[in-house]
């Protein structure tokens, strides 16, 4: 049986240094995909936009800048609040998003209690699969 840890929150899509718009989003972590976090953005379209990237990247990005290429994450202060900033880049465009650090950290803590760092491989059932394959 697999477990899902979800969190609805409102991110801010940064349009300029002084302008941003709210974007409802859902963070999801699944024990059947233990290395990844999933973020689904509910924009004004029939199909939400989803991103998947390493949980470790988000964990580290709460404390210090990390990542390169398509996903970069870093902590920041915005209007007196602590935030986690995510820069996402794809062939379809780029987005700079700001999330409340306390909400992201609390959600990450739940995922880390469920599957501690270094224990992800146990969730994949690789040993069980190999045992079944070799038993044939």
Q: Each residue of 33-66: pLDDT tens digit?
A: 999 999 999 866 678 889 999 999 999 999 999 9
pLDDT score of 125: 64
Place of tokens 């470790």: 56
**Through-space distance between the first and last CA atoms of the chain, rounded to whole angstroms:** 25
Say if residue 58 is exposed, middle or buried (CB neighbours under 10 Å; 0-12, 13-18, 19+).
buried
Domain positions in the chain: 4-135
pLDDT score of 124: 66
pTM of the model: 0.83
Q: Which residues of 9-48 are buried (b: 16+ CB within 10 A; e: fewer)?
A: eebbbbeeeeebeebebebbbbbebbebbbbbbeeeeeee
Q: Which residues in the chain show pLDDT less than 50?
A: none
pLDDT score of 128: 62
CATH class of 4-135: mainly beta
79: DSSP letter: T
pLDDT score of 46: 77
Give the long-range contacts of residues 42-46, CB within 8 A, separation 24 or more: none
CA atoms within 13 A on the CB side of 8: 2
**At 104, which helix (H) or strand (E)?**
helix 101-114
pLDDT score of 118: 75
């Amino acid at each position: 049986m697999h477990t899902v840890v979800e969190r609805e929150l409102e991110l801010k899509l940064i349009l300029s240094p002084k302008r941003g718009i709210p974007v409802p989003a859902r963070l999801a972590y699944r024990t059947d995909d233990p290395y990844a976090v999933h973020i689904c953005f509910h924009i004004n379209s029939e199909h939400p936009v989803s991103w998947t990237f390493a949980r470790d990247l988000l964990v580290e990005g709460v404390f210090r800048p990390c990542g390169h290429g398509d996903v970069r994450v870093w902590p920041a202060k915005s209007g007196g609040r602590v935030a986690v900033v995510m820069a996402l880049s794809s062939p379809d465009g780029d987005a700079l998003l700001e999330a409340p650090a306390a909400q992201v950290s609390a959600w990450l803590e739940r995922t880390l209690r469920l599957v501690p760092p270094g224990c992800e491989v146990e969730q994949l059932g690789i040993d069980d699969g190999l045992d079944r394959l070799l038993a044939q």
